[in-house]
Amino acid sequence: MAVDPNASDSDMTALLKRMQRAVRSSQTVLTRTPCAHSRPEDYFECPNEGTKTCSECKLVLYCSRLCQERHWKLHKKVHKDALVDSQWKPAWEKEGRPPSWTSRSPEEFDPKTSGSSLWGNMPAIDVLNFVRNKDLMKSTSLNVLFAASGDLRNAIKTVNALPDTFQGELTITLNDRDPFVSLRNIMLLRLLGADGDPRRAADAALHHWYSVLLPRQYHTEILALLSEMGLKLLEDQPSGADGYKLGVLSSLQVIMGAGSYLRGLTAAFCAQDKYTAADAKAELNGIRFDPSRRDLHDKSYSRLEPPHRLSIQKFRECGLVLPFGASTAHFDTPNYMLFSPSGKWSIGDGERPLFGWNIEDIVASGRAHGLTRYDLYGSLYFHVSELLCDFAKRLSRFRIKFIVLNEDAVDLATNIQRGDLKDVGIPATARFDRIDVSNIMDANYVGVEKVIGAWGPLLRRARTSALLGYFMNWAMGDKSKPKTEDMDELKRSGRTSPQPSQLDPMAWMTWMTDIMNDFPAYTDTSKAFDRYLVEHKVTSSLRQARLKLRQEHTVLPHRLCVPIDAQKTVKPGPLLSEESWYLQAQLGGFTWNERFVEIVCADP
């Protein structure tokens, strides 16, 4: 929706209010699993809860045998899908050829794998962790900064973990160099902080976050918010700071100067080209079902249980985070927050919304709402809906100030120390109780030296403060030889498929790929990681900044799927039950090489 610069403020304000009222209509928010019987052609949906699971696909639920019989004509297509077949094999095995990903150039050069990081690829974390950092309760104010925030999941998990007895003020600064990421975070915070039903706000925010199409009411709401921001762009604001109320007690400050990319992107969205739901789906399918990507998707399906393959495939096809059998007829409008202003898909093909949350928690939430463990995106719907609803309520219970910026992470640290942001409320004296730098310390991003040099001086000199980060790609250059005892432990676990004959080279290649994917979970990577840190001058960088590595973590574990208080040598694989191993290893989006660090003051 374009903003008319000639319209009076009163006219535009009235229009925006009418648009916002228009979306407070009867949009249904799911609280339990719906009966799957529907007829999209005449907008019929059974109003009852689904309680009886289809014994074949294990994905949809019906309220009665009658509804199941009436829906069979549509549902039988699911049963005939090749992915449900227990004998399903990857295309390269069936066709007797090497998989395409063994010979293609690295993925980073494939444009279909690139895009904005809108969903995150690691489970959400609580960066404060009051349970293990009780002295934080003594603070009257806490200052948390996400230097390369990505989406809102870590901020949401942190806010939702605040103790009910916390009486202080929490400031959360969210910075990301990608203006699209920052704009989305602004829109989601405003949706969640709006007056009205928090459950409905959570539903709207979830679909804007993850779903390719939206109900028209939700689309109208985001247009109203974008138009309001567009109006502010027309005003002369040298400081570049806009403020918004969130809930009863919280607030949002958006910082974007005259030349900000965020400012330009907001203006582009306000005047963007029109594209239809059909255009959006065609664009999505052109990315997700490009023939060159088939082997990579088959690779991810190769060790999944058939219903899980089908669950993921359906999301790839329709792009909606909903229970498998839920009606989708009212999702008829493109989600502007997942496409560029010209209608181009903005996310790499390999990303999944599931990767941003703990998969075991997702499945548990689904079961609590009546789903089976197989309906992954239905479970994600209920899991994230509950988190967002709780978050929306907490905006009225706690005093939380959000600040959103769009700068390079190192430049932001420099600008703060130089006093360039004092006019927008971030003085040169600002210090932070938590600084989360995500994975930008990886050598292929910013690197250890630059990150510590930039952000170390901004860490509050207190024993409760910490700079947090993780390394994803450090193992790529590791020359360590696999230990025989580690490989033997993996094989003894029974978690590897039987070794096929080398006379069947395609099956053998699949088996070897699986082994190499699992092996790091059974390997103590601590010594190799320590060598990596030494090679990248972490010791001298920390000494210069008067910082040190915390050996006994109190915020994050050293590795994924191990306890926070576990030693850095602990291996995740042997700790996991069979169910946990399957969910984390086959449905999680990580490599098992990820390692977390906590950096603290050497002399607080």
Q: What is the 3-state secondary structure (H, E, C) of 139-204?
A: CCEEEEEECCCCCCHHHHHHHHCCCCCCCCEEEEEEECCCHHHHHHHHHHHHHHCCCCCHHHHHHH
- The amino acid occupying position 160 is N
β partners of residue 345: 339
Mean pLDDT in residue range 49-57:
94
pLDDT reported for residue 1: 43
Instruction: Using the structure block, give the residue that is written with the tokens 């989601």.
Output: 188
pLDDT reported for residue 105: 54
My answer on whether 157 and 264 are in the same domain is: yes
Among 6-10, 182-186, 241-245, 446-450, the range scoring the smallest mean pLDDT is 6-10
Q: Is residue 516 part of a domain?
A: yes
My answer on whether 540 and 497 are in the same domain is: yes
Query: Containing H/E element for 16?
Result: helix 9-22
**pTM exceeds 0.95:** no
Domain edge (last residue) among 421, 441, 471: 471
> For residues 477 and 140, what is the distance between their CA atoms, to the nearest angstrom?
45
* pLDDT band of 275, cuts 50, 70, 90: confident
pLDDT tens for each residue of 471-487: 999 988 776 666 677 77
Tokens of 61: 């639920």
β partners of residue 331: 215
What DSSP string describes 247-266?
TTTEEEEEE--TT-HHHHHH
My answer on whether 187 and 313 are in the same domain is: no
* CB-based contact 372:53 (threshold 8 Å): yes
> For residues 145 and 459, what is the distance between their CA atoms, to the nearest angstrom?
10
Length of the chain (residues)? 604
pLDDT tens for each residue of 82-92: 999 888 999 98
> For residues 155 and 125, what is the distance between their CA atoms, to the nearest angstrom?
8
* pLDDT band of 337, cuts 50, 70, 90: very high
My answer on whether 546 and 499 are in the same domain is: yes
DSSP state at residue 150 = -
Query: Containing H/E element for 420?
Result: none
My answer on whether 77 and 206 are in the same domain is: no
Query: If you average pLDDT over every residue of the chain, what do you get?
Result: 89
pLDDT tens for each residue of 426-455: 999 999 999 999 999 999 899 999 999 999
Q: Say what angle helices 376-394 and 153-160 make with each other, to 10 degrees.
A: 60
Tokens of 391: 């978050």
> For residues 395 and 308, what is the distance between their CA atoms, to the nearest angstrom?
36
Write the CB contacts of 170 (distance below 8 Å, at least 6 apart in sequence): 141, 142, 144, 159, 162, 398, 399, 400, 401
DSSP state at residue 187 = H
My answer on whether 537 and 396 are in the same domain is: no
My answer on whether 262 and 331 are in the same domain is: no
Domain edge (last residue) among 368, 384, 400: 384
What domain range is 54 assigned to?
29-111+276-384
Q: Is residue 10 part of a domain?
A: no
387 by DSSP, 3-state: which? helix
How many domains is the chain built from?
3
Q: Is residue 22 part of a domain?
A: no
Phi-psi region of 319 (alpha: psi -120 to 50; beta: other; left: phi over 0): left
Domain edge (last residue) among 471, 498, 528: 471
554 by DSSP, 3-state: which? coil
> For residues 366 and 378, what is the distance between their CA atoms, to the nearest angstrom?
7
My answer on whether 164 and 259 are in the same domain is: yes
Mean pLDDT in residue range 401-423:
95
Mean pLDDT in residue range 246-263:
84
